A = this chain, B = another copy of it.
Amino acid sequence: MHELRKDILLGRWVAVLSDSKSPTDYRLPFHKNEESSCILCPGRENETPPEITSIRNHGTYPNSPGWWVRVLPSFKPVFQIEGDLGRRGVGIYDKMNSIGANEIIVESPEHNVRPEDMGLEHMIRVITLYRHRIADLEKDSRIRYILIYKNSGKEAGELFSHPVSYLMATPVIPKMVKDELDNAKQYYSYKERCIFCDIIREELRVGERIILETRNFIAFCPYAAQFPFVSWLIPTRHYCAFHEITYEEIEDLGLVLMTVLKKLRKIFNDLPFNYFIHTAPNMVPRRNHWHTLGEDFHWHLEIMPRLIRTSGFEWGSGFYILPTSPENAAKYLREVG
């Protein structure tokens, strides 16, 4: 019989099908890389909005070649940094100004490189800039949340063929994050333990959903994942805010991220995926904060392969069907080269 499982964090149920699909059962669209001239390649820095920051060769100047990783404001920002929040009612509804930030993190000067092929030294630079940007924007008291994410493949919302990640800073805590925070807090109130630390201990104890384990991180397929082959990367040390990551942990995260992406590509060849970092919301004055001094939240990175289409069932219910069990997905990922 198929099995229903409850996502311990979100309270969401998923169905795990008993006749677990193998990787070859998924039909993936073919992606061609358009090799037209790219505005994000070195040499066209003056055609993009001026860079916010970069990691670059000594002796080279901002907005000129010589960069390794480069952060730009979005070409068409949804959120803008200037202005006040202007939170107000309109009839029975609520609205506010679109204050925040949209940034593009250009991950490499190489047009066709994939994150897993960048080399560890380069991946460390990318993650270091993730941390820098969050630490910088966190100072803005109007900003409540900062999300780092990546879209790889057209099916996953990719817009540039050049490798990029994105940063979106919002003046509200987005619903998905708020649900995680609320449920983690509720668990903490009841158990007086971090739900994420409990998940790590349980996954290590059971073992069958673990993809790999390093000194500072574990990668695993969550018990009640939303989609097949969803993989979480989580630090074994408890801390809520991504930007408190140490240098040693950055190195380790880079290695784990590259390894899991390499494994996914080995299994699925040209796989569309997203990943995103769920970190704690920005600290705000005590009256309105969501977490108890960070004891009840624990940052993590979620890799979301886009293998299946969503239908009216998923959109109408928020209930998901998993054609491959997390145990089988983890086994494929563990065993592949």
Contacts and interface: CB of A to CB of B under 8 A. Distances in A.
B317 A168 contact: yes
B3 A174 contact: no
Contact of A304 (B80, B97, B166, B312): B312
A202 B89 CA distance: 13
Interface in A65-102: 78-80, 83, 91-98
Contacts of A156: 309, 311-312
Interface string A163-192: 000101011101111110000000000000
B94 A179 contact: no
Interface stretch (A30-38, A231-239, A273-281, A291-299): A273-281
Given A78-B2, A79-B15, A93-B5, A313 B147 contact: yes
Given A80-B1, A274-B312, A319 B202 contact: no
Contact of A319 (B80, B174, B309): B174
Contacts of A174: 12-13, 316-319
Contact of A96 (B4, B17, B202, B311): B4
Number of copies of chain A assembled together: 2
A168 B313 contact: yes
Interface residues of A, number: 69
- Chain A interface helix/strand/loop/mixed: mixed
A179 to B, nearest CB: 7
Contacts of A278: 316
A267 interface: no
A93 B202 contact: yes
A274 B311 contact: yes
A202 B318 CA distance: 27
A317 B170 contact: yes
Contacts of A176: 315-319
Given A2-B98, A170-B319, A318-B176, A93 B312 contact: no
Contact of A91 (B83, B206, B224, B304): B206
Contacts of A202: 91-93
23 contacts: A1-B97, A1-B98, A2-B98, A3-B97, A4-B97, A6-B95, A10-B175, A12-B175, A13-B174, A78-B321, A93-B202, A93-B223, A147-B317, A149-B312, A157-B312, A166-B312, A170-B317, A176-B319, A179-B318, A274-B315, A276-B313, A276-B315, A304-B315
